[in-house]
Amino acid sequence: MKVKNFTDVKLLLLNNKSVKQTIFKNTFWLVIAEAISQLLKLVLLIYVARILGATEYGKFTFALAFVSLFVIFSDFGLSSITTREFAREKEKEKEFSSIFTLKILLSLGALTLMLVGSFFITSDSAIRGVIWLLAVYALITNFFEIIYAFLRARQKMEYEAFAKILEAIILTSTGFFIILNFPSVQNLSYSYLFAGFISLTLILFFFHFKFFPLKISFKKSIWKRFLAMSWPLGFVAVFSVIYNHIDSVMMGYWGQITETGWYNAAYKIAYVILIPGTLIFRSFYPALSIAFRESKGGLQKIWNYQTGVVVLITIPLVVGGGVLAPRIIDFIYGSSFSPSTFAFQILIMMAGTMVLVTTFTQLLIIANQQKKYFWISFFGAITNIVLNLILIPKYSLYGAAIATFITMLLMLVLCLVAVVKFTSVRPLHFEIFLVFFVAFFCSIIMYFAISLPLIYNLNVLLAILIGAAVYLTSFLVVNKFLKLNLYV
C-alpha cells in the first residue's frame, strides 16, 4: 500500500485491508506499545533495584515470582482459545459475556490459592503482606488479557497498544513517586496495586462502550466447552510459569534473598530478547489461525516469514548481549550487581532458545494439538524442578540460570519433533536454514566488531548502536551479494 498523505497513513495503521497490511499494522502498534510499556517498567525496576539494593529488591521479586506461580490459574488458557475461536467465527463473540464471567470466577479462585499459599512459603509477615498486595495487582493485570483476546481476534491491536501504554504510564509514574519519596518494598507494592485498579477501571469502561457491553452471564455449557479446549493450555501455562519463576521462589524459600535480587536483575534484562518475538507472534497469530483452516500452503508461507523475521532479530541480540554483558549490567545496575553478569549471559541464551520454542508451540496450538504441548511443558516443568533442586544449593543463581537454559533446550527438541509429526508445516524448511545461516554469519561479524577494545570500551549504548549498524550492514551486503531477497 502506497502512502501519500495523512488519509493513507490512517488507512495503513487503523484499518484492516489485506493480510500483509493487517499484520504490518498490528505489528507496528504492538511494537510501539511494548517498546514504551516495557521500557517504562524496566526503567522503574532498575531504579527500584538501585535505590532499595539487591536484598530489598530480592524480597520484591521473590513475592512477585510467588504470585506468578498462581496467577496463571486466573486464565488457564482461556485468552488464547478465545482469540483463536473468535478469529475463526465472529458469531462466537456473543459468548463473550459468559467467558468474561468465567474469568472473574477463575481470578477469585487464584486469589484464594495465593493468600493461603503465602502462609506456607514464608514466615516473614512483611514479605507475606507484599505477597498479598502483589497478588491482587497480578490478577488485575492478568484480567486485561481477556479484553486483549477479544481485540486480537478482531485484529485491532492498536487498541491493545493504547491500553498497554496507558497502564504503563500510570504504573511508572505512581511507582516513581513512591520509590523516590517513600522508598520501601511495601509502599512500592501499594503503588502497583493502585495503578492496576485505575488502569483496569479505565480500560473496562472504554471496552464496554466501544466494543462489547460487559455483563455477567452464567452459561455453564459455554464454560465447559471453552475449558475443555483451554485446559491443556492452562496447564502448559502453569508449567511455563514453573520453569520461569520456581527458581526465584526456591532461592527465596532457602533464604537466598540477595541472590534472588541479583538473579531477577539479570532476568529482567534478558527478557528484552523475548519482546520482539512476542510482538511478532501476537501479530501473526490470527493470520496463522485463519491460514490453518483455509490453506496449508499459506500456513507454511506465513510461518516461514514469521520465523525468519524472528530469527534475524533474535540471534544478534543474543550474541551482542553476551559480549557486552559486563558493560550492560554495570551501566544499568552499578557495580554492586556484578554477580548478575554470568547469570545474564546464561539467561540471554535461554531467552533466545525460548523464542524458537515459541515458534513451534504456536503451531501446535493453531493445529489443535494443545495436548501435545501439554505433555512437552509437563516434562519441561519436572526437568526444571529437578535441576533446580540439584543446582541451586551448589551454584545459587548460576545454577538456576543453567537449569532454565537446559530446560529450554530439551523443550526445543521435543517441540520440533511434535511439529514435524503432528502438523503440516515443515519446520526444517530450506528458507529457515538459509535465514539461520545469514543471521549467524552476520552476528559473527558483529561479534568481532564490538569485541574490539576501541568499541567495547565506549559508552555501552554507543557500542550497542555500532553493533546494530554492523549487523544490519552485513545483512544487507550478504542479502544483495547472494541475491537472497530476504525480507527487504
d(CA 383, CA 413): 14
What integer pLDDT is reported at residue 487 of this predicted model? 54
Widest Cα–Cα separation across the chain:
66
φ, ψ of residue 255 to 5 degrees: the values are 85, 10
93-97 long-range contacts, Cβ below 8 Å, gap at least 24? Answer: 93/150, 93/153, 93/212, 95/219, 95/222, 95/226, 96/150, 96/212, 97/214, 97/215, 97/216, 97/217
As given in the structure block, the three cell numbers for residue 343 are: 547469570
Q: How big, in percent rounded to 5, are the helix, strand and coil portions of the chain?
A: 90, 0, 10
Residue 94 is given by DSSP the state G
Classify 133 as helix, strand or coil. Answer: helix
Residue 297, number of CB atoms within 10 A of its CB: 10
As given in the structure block, the three cell numbers for residue 261 are: 535480587
As given in the structure block, the three cell numbers for residue 319 are: 550474541
- Asked whether the beta carbons of 248 and 122 are under 8 A apart, the reply is no
The per-residue pLDDT string of the chain (488 residues; one tens digit each, 9 = 90 and over) reads 454 544 555 555 666 566 666 677 777 777 788 778 888 888 898 889 989 988 899 999 999 889 988 888 888 888 888 888 888 788 888 888 999 999 999 999 999 999 999 998 888 888 999 999 999 999 998 888 889 888 888 777 788 888 889 999 999 999 999 999 999 999 999 999 999 999 999 989 999 998 888 889 888 888 888 888 888 777 877 887 887 788 999 998 898 999 999 999 999 889 888 878 777 887 787 778 788 877 777 888 888 888 888 999 999 999 999 999 999 999 989 888 999 999 999 999 999 999 999 899 888 888 888 788 888 988 998 999 999 999 999 999 999 999 999 999 999 999 999 999 988 888 888 888 888 999 999 999 999 999 999 999 999 999 999 999 999 999 988 887 776 665 54
What integer pLDDT is reported at residue 488 of this predicted model? 47
φ, ψ of residue 182 to 5 degrees: the values are -135, 65
What integer pLDDT is reported at residue 15 of this predicted model? 60
What integer pLDDT is reported at residue 281 of this predicted model? 82
Give DSSP secondary structure letters for 230-266: HHHHHHHHHHHHHHHHHHHHHHHHTT-HHHHHHHHHH
Sequence spans of domains, the chain: 15-428
What integer pLDDT is reported at residue 12 of this predicted model? 57
d(CA 354, CA 336): 29
- Asked whether the beta carbons of 415 and 370 are under 8 A apart, the reply is no
